[in-house]
Copies of this chain bind each other. A is one copy, B any other.
Amino acid sequence: MISALDTVAPQDRRELLESLLLKRHRQAFPTLASKAFFNFGAQGLLPRPALAALLSYHDEIERAAPLSLEGVAAMLLTLRRSRAALAVELGAREENLALVENASTGCNIALWGIDWQPGDHLVVSDREYPGVREAAAAVARRFGLTVTPWRIEGASDRQLAGLEACLTPRTRAVLVSHVPWDTGEVLPLAEISALCQRPNGSRILLLVDGAQSAGVLPLDLPALGVDVYAFPGHKWWCGPEGTGGLYVGPAALAELSPVFVGSRGLTFSREGVVTGFRADAARFEVGTSSPALCSALAAAVAVHGEWGTSAARLERIHKLVLRLWEGLGALGPRRVLRLQPLPPQAGLVFFRPHGIDPQALVLALEARNLVVRSMPHADCVRASVHYFNQESEVDELLAALEALCPQSREQRKEREPRLSNG
């Protein structure tokens, strides 16, 4: 068979084919018809198959009648499929996964679920998202805990030494992001988990916010040794708002009590009498949630799987992120200050524009159909790069930055030791 591709020189064929496939894959995301989108760390783009799954669920339920025998079967099958699809992505068993409305709720379930005693100790990294940080503070107030901020700095050895110095005999949990939302580095969870294992066999619970890692990094949570991993569905995984999950590993499942309680997390006898909590992580689920949204999330995850493995997708993220990071370097520190000294390890790239307020720059970029976000507390801009961004979009972003950021006369040093903590 002779195709149009055969007219292309063999050495260019592979690249052309890849770009054609990507172009076609991108058609699943309506937004991309008119925008270059770099804000997946805030919220992803809902692909058409996810919306189709959502509609299909409602159609099926309304045809069967909600909570009729047929309706219940359709609902339970949808929930089971969604849970299974997510569990695979985490390397986890379904029984260790609770479906929750968002990652914050997941973090709260873990934080409140510990049987805290006054004077117990909690370590919270200094790179946590404000909402999660405040959740920890609320728990600390309610139960009279002491809290130590773990200052994450330097390379992983220094990070781990920093954590070790925070731990006390009363430490019961460590709260940290897999990929901090305002530095984008990948923290060494397996090594952190090892520090949480006490010589006497007991464990400090390792609670992880996966907001910027789920849907970006290949995950094997049991291998990483995390106890709890909360993640959103609507960011890198491109599911709808109002979806997320909570991985609860065996140690945490044994230790955490359900806080908010509802019939979804309970077991009943045939006579309708409550017999206790479910044995699996669904014990942390509370009341009626939307199976339609879960199904949409599973469909979004499947869209990514159709492109390639999580390792292949991360490889592409790395390639694009490097292109952006190097391009920022080429623009020079008199135009934009690149805030990561080494190539970014996940999908987040940070830079501080010169001579223009970050928020003003974000608006100016939006006017050019380029979507990024500002980070007010760190006086910088964050670009979130996904595997289905295009090289040409990265180049567009760089060109727009060149046009919008006036070159300063003063020389600034390119590397700052860390993002400011606002």
Contacts and interface: CB of A to CB of B under 8 A. Distances in A.
Interface of A: 29-31, 34-35, 37, 39, 42-46, 51, 54-55, 58-59, 61-63, 65-70, 101-105, 108-109, 112, 129-135, 137-138, 142, 232, 234, 240-244, 257-264, 266, 268, 270-274, 286-293, 363, 366, 371, 373, 375-378, 422
A266 B105 CA distance: 14
A274 to B, nearest CB: 5
B46 A67 contact: no
A138 B69 contact: no
List 3 tightest A-B contacts by C-beta distance, closest first.
A242-B290, A104-B287, A102-B287
B240 A58 contact: yes
14 contacts: A43-B66, A44-B66, A45-B66, A101-B289, A112-B112, A131-B261, A132-B262, A138-B258, A138-B261, A232-B288, A241-B292, A270-B376, A272-B376, A290-B290
Contacts of A129: 263
Nearest to A29: B62
Given A102-B287, A266-B130, A37 B58 contact: no
B260 A260 contact: yes
Nearest to A109: B260
A280 B304 CA distance: 39
Interface of chain A: mostly helix, strand, loop or mixed: mixed
B105 A366 contact: no
Nearest to A240: B290
A130 B274 contact: yes
Contacts of A375: 272
A101 B101 contact: yes
Nearest to A235: B288
A273 B244 CA distance: 25
A105 B65 contact: no
A375 to B, nearest CB: 7
B241 A290 contact: yes
Contacts of A234: 288
Taken together, the copies of this chain in the complex come to: 2
B55 A67 contact: no
A45 to B, nearest CB: 7
A104 B260 contact: yes
A51 B62 CA distance: 11
A128 to B, nearest CB: 11
A66 B239 CA distance: 12
A259 B112 contact: yes
Given A103-B287, A105-B286, A138-B257, A39 B67 contact: yes
A135 to B, nearest CB: 4
A422 B51 contact: no
Contacts of A102: 262, 286-289
Contacts of A112: 112, 259-260
A24 to B, nearest CB: 18
B130 A260 contact: no
A51 to B, nearest CB: 6
B293 A290 contact: yes
Contacts of A363: 69
Given A68-B366, A101-B287, 18 more contacts: A31-B62, A42-B66, A44-B66, A69-B366, A101-B289, A102-B287, A102-B289, A104-B287, A104-B288, A108-B260, A108-B262, A130-B272, A133-B274, A135-B261, A241-B288, A242-B292, A243-B290, A270-B376
